[in-house]
Every structure is written in C-alpha cells, then in structure tokens.
Amino acid sequence: MLAEIFLVARKDLRVERRAKIALGQVAPLALLILMVFAFALDANTSLLERGAGGLYWLAVLYGGTLLIQRSFDVETDDGNMDALRMSAIGMPSLFLGKALALFVQITVLELILGPGILLLYNVGVVDWVLLIAAAIAGTVAFSVCGVLWGAMSAGLRVRATLLPLLLVPVLAPVLLAGSRAFETALGVRAGAGWTWAGLMFVIAAVHTALGLGAFGFLLEEG
Amino acid sequence: MSAVVEFEGVVCVAGSFPVLTGLDLRVDRGEILHVQGENGAGKTSLLRACAGLISVSSGKASVLGFDMRVDRKAPRRHIGLLGHENNLYRDLEVSKHVEFRAASVGARASDTAAALEKVRFPQQLWSVPIGSLSAGQRRKVAIASLLVGRPQLWLLDEPHAALDTESRKNLDAILIEASASGATIIFVSHESPVTKEIASRVITMDGGRITEDSGAG
C-alpha cells in the first residue's frame, strides 16, 4: 500500500513540477492577497497584528482550493479518471497518495506565506512549536478534506464553482481553529492554542477515515 | 475455446437512457472482434460494459470469468482500455507517463522502453512532455501505455485515429501478435477497409444490440 501511495503522490508532484501552477501562479496570488490586506489595513496596525493568523489561513484557504481544483483537473482531463479506475491501485492508496501530494504543495505555499505575514503584518513568533504543530495539523486537514470533496465534484460540469461551495463550509472550523492557534503562537492572544491545534488534528482524522471509506464510491459513481 | 466475454440479454442504462438493450455476445480467447455501427449504436457502451465502467442492469454478464453483476471491478486489472480520449497526463514526460501506467497496473517499469519501441515512438522524444506532442504521437504513447500492462483483454475505441499509414500497419501487427499470444481484442472502428484484414470476426450494432454477426451460424 505504501508503494502505491508514493506512486500516486510522486506522479502528482511530477505533474505539478512540470506545470509550475503552485509556485508560478497560486503562491504569488496568495501572497498578493496578504499584501492587499496589508495595504487595506495598514492605518490600523494593531488590527493587522490581531488578524494576522486569520488572514494567513484565509490566504491558505484560497490558494489551497486552487491546488485542490488543479489536483482533480489533471485527472478529469483526457479521461485519466477512467485509467485510474482501470488500474490496480487501491482506492485508499489513491486517496492517501493524492492527499500526500496536496500536503506537500500546500506546505510549500505556507512556507512562502509564513515570512509574508511576519514581514507585512509586523508580528513575531512566541511559540514556534505550537506554530509548526498548528500549521501541520491545518495542512493535513486541508489536504484530506480537499481530496474527499474534490472527488465528490470531480466528474461534474460545474465543478469549478461547486468545489469552493462544498469546501469552504467544511474547512471553516479548520480556518477558525488555525487562526486561534496562530494567534496564540504569535503572542497576539493568550489562550488555548494547543486545544485549537488538537481540534484540527481531530478534523483531519475524521476526514481521513471518511475518505478511506468513501473515496472509491465517489470516484466510481462520480 | 474459453469465453473471455459472455453477455446474455445484457441491459445497461446511462442516466435514464438504455445504451445496451438486451445484448447477446460471446467472445473467445484470442479473437479479434471488430465492432461497427452508426453513431449512438452502443459500441462505446459495449466496451465500457466489458471494462466494468458502467453497470449491468439486467441479463448475464461475465468477463474473464468474473460475474460483472457481482463485482464489475474484479477483471479490470487484466483489461487494457483505450477510449476516444488518450488517458494521458499532458504535463508528464512520455517515459514517466508510461512508467506510471506500468506501475499502476502492477507491471514492470523496465518494460517501458520495449513498449515505446514497439509502437515506434522516437527515442529522442521520450523525455518530452506529452502536451507538446502531435495528436498521432499522443495516440502512440496511449497505445504504449496500454501495451506495457500486457492485458488479457484489449478494448479499443477507434485505435487507428490520428495515426499515419505506417503507424496503422504497425498497430495492426501489434494486435495480431497480441492475439496470437492469447490476448482477446475488441475494437470499435469506422474504418472497415483498413481493419477488415485483421479482424477475425465483425459485428454490427444498432440500438444497443447486435444486428449482424459474421461469426454467427
């Protein structure tokens, strides 16, 4: 199973490395969102500092949604979904492989956005361990939710507009928990940062279990 | 002869539209079956039903010994399907794509070179992204991707499309060789003069069922 997971993830990352959508288009766009907020709120620096965590995750949500969309576009393009259905790759492996590739891409996006908020929003990190744990938890949650809901909309003509509509309500708790955990890690708000990070891990675990069970059905009947 | 495909009164429905309407068909091991018929006759649906990509609503259907009404996914790993589309990742390099397809059906990635050579794909293009190839070259990569998995049942929809004369002859030779080594081939084509030389049997479809069978009687 591990070999199949890495096979799928390697393929997705190789496609992405060639296409350069994540680095060439999505990351600059997400950075631009951070910059727009910085310009819009720069008269109120305290508001900018307080909102840094939330604006960071908002940019991740926007960029991540584009990456999830792209991850399924390459499968629906030229009938590749049929080839995947005909392959010997198990559906749980396919789910985890695509989630792993998305995890890597969203992590790269976050590594670019991270210095962005430190620089543009004038905030500093007071708890690196919490910050990294929250970022990992949020990224795992984004990835598994993205693959699960991406598969649900993959075969549909209206998928470009439907995916964000399905995804945003599901990811809203991740967005909230990520913002709260980051606020604690950035020293903006004292609070239960670890509890919020834990909540993201729980959301990720629930969606992983759902994905392992439902992904095959979604792909087959989609 | 052992039956590879055995359909009796098969009905398949796409949405609310019946695409196969009581189809009876037996295809034996090693046969090269040419399916012809007008647009909308059900040819592509027949291939997809054989591949288990559409479910059988009623009738008896068995492919490679697997009951398609019980588990339509079971025979898939032994089947190679080439549809209208080429099933190619346009941003992958040619050799990496064929390697991925090989690994995804449990075949050896080392067979990639042999498969590409067999379809006479120029070696200098093996590291080129598929998106920059011509339509004919892409079709060759699609055929190599199918070849590398050594399927027992080949399901081909207009396999000669976009290929030049030499490549068509080469494809025919590949199909004849595969059939001689025990593979069964079902292909849809509108190009009767080109394909009648290789087909061991021809069926004509209309309205989701077979109206003419050169092997009948």
Residue A13 has a pLDDT of: 95
Residue in chain A closest to B89 (alpha carbons) equals: A74
pLDDT band at B142 (very low <50, low <70, confident <90, very high): very high
Averaged over B143-166, what is the pLDDT? 91
Residue B109 pLDDT class (50, 70, 90 cuts): confident
Selected for mutation to probe chain A from B63, B89, B94, B128 (highest A CB count within 10 Å) is: B89
Q: Do B65 and B201 contact (CB within 8 A), yes or no?
A: no
**Residue with the two structure tokens 């009951």:** B67
Q: Search chain A and give the residue with CA nearest B96.
A: A11
Kindly report which listed range (A78-92, A107-121, A145-159, B28-42) carries the lowest average pLDDT score: A145-159
Confidence of residue B194 (pLDDT cuts 50, 70, 90): low
Burial class (CB in 10 A: 0-12, 13-18, 19+), B17: exposed
Residue range A164-192: mean pLDDT, rounded: 88
Per-residue pLDDT tens digits for A179-190 = 999 999 988 877
Query: Which residues of B are less than 8 Å from A11 in CB distance?
Result: 89, 92, 100
Q: Sort out which chain B residues have CB atoms less than 8 A from A19's CB and list them.
A: 91
Contact B171, B143 (CB under 8 A): yes
pLDDT tens-digit map of B17-64: 889 998 999 999 999 999 998 888 899 999 999 999 998 889 999 999
For residue B163, the model assigns a pLDDT of 86
Over residues A42-53, the mean pLDDT reads: 79
Q: Give me the residue from A15, A82, A84 closest to B91, CB to CB.
A: A15
pLDDT of residue A119: 84
Neighbours of B181 (CB within 10 A): 9
Could you give the dihedral angle defined by the CA atoms of residues B148, B152, B157 and B162, in that order, rounded to the nearest 10 degrees?
Answer: 30
Q: What is the mean pLDDT of residues B178-199?
A: 83
Binding-site residues on chain B for chain A (CB distance < 8 A): 51, 53, 73, 76-77, 79-81, 83-93, 96, 100-101, 103-106, 129, 145
The strand ranges marked E within chain B are: 3-14, 17-28, 32-37, 56-63, 66-67, 79-82, 153-157, 184-188, 201-206, 209-213
CB contact under 8 A, A78 and B105: no
State the smallest CA–CA distance between residue B214 and chain A in angstroms.
30
A43 pLDDT tier (thresholds 50, 70, 90): low
In chain B, % of residues over pLDDT 70: 96
pLDDT grade for A1, boundaries at 50, 70 and 90: confident
**Total Cβ atoms within 10 A of residue A58:** 18
Q: What is the model's pTM?
A: 0.89
User: Which residues on adjacent β-strands are paired with residue B63?
Assistant: B5, B66
| pLDDT surpassing 70 at residue B195 | no
Residue A94 has pLDDT above 90, yes or no: yes
Q: pLDDT-based confidence at B155, cuts 50/70/90?
A: very high
Least Cα separation, residue B104 to chain A (angstroms): 5
**Phi, psi dihedral angles at B124 (to 5 degrees):** -70, -10
**Mean model confidence pLDDT for chain A:** 88
pLDDT band at A222 (very low <50, low <70, confident <90, very high): low
Predicted complex ipTM exceeds 0.90:
no
Chain B residue closest in CA terms to A21: B91
Domain count, chain A: 1
pLDDT of A194 above 80: yes
Which of B47, B96, B100 has the most A C-beta neighbours within 10 Å, making it the best mutation to test the interface with A? B100
Question: If pLDDT is split at 50, 70 and 90, which confidence band does A135 have?
Answer: very high
- The pLDDT confidence band at residue B84, using thresholds 50, 70 and 90, is confident
Q: What is the pLDDT of residue B193?
A: 64
Q: What is the mean pLDDT of residues A125-133?
A: 92
Q: 3-state DSSP call for residue B184?
A: strand
Which tokens belong to A29?
Answer: 């766009």
Q: For residues A135 and B199, what is the distance between their CA atoms, to the nearest angstrom?
A: 60
Mean pLDDT of B128-156: 93
Q: What pLDDT is attached to residue B48?
A: 93
pLDDT higher than threshold 60 for residue B217: no
A27-49 mean pLDDT = 82
pLDDT band at B88 (very low <50, low <70, confident <90, very high): very high
User: Is A88's CB within 8 Å of B85's CB?
Assistant: no
The minimum CA-CA distance between A98 and chain B, rounded to whole Å, is 14
Interface check for A166 against chain B (CB to CB < 8 A): the answer is no
pLDDT band at residue A151 using 50, 70 and 90 as cut-offs:
confident
What is the residue range of A75's domain? 2-219
Name which of B76, B77, B88 is nearest A78 (Cβ-Cβ).
B88
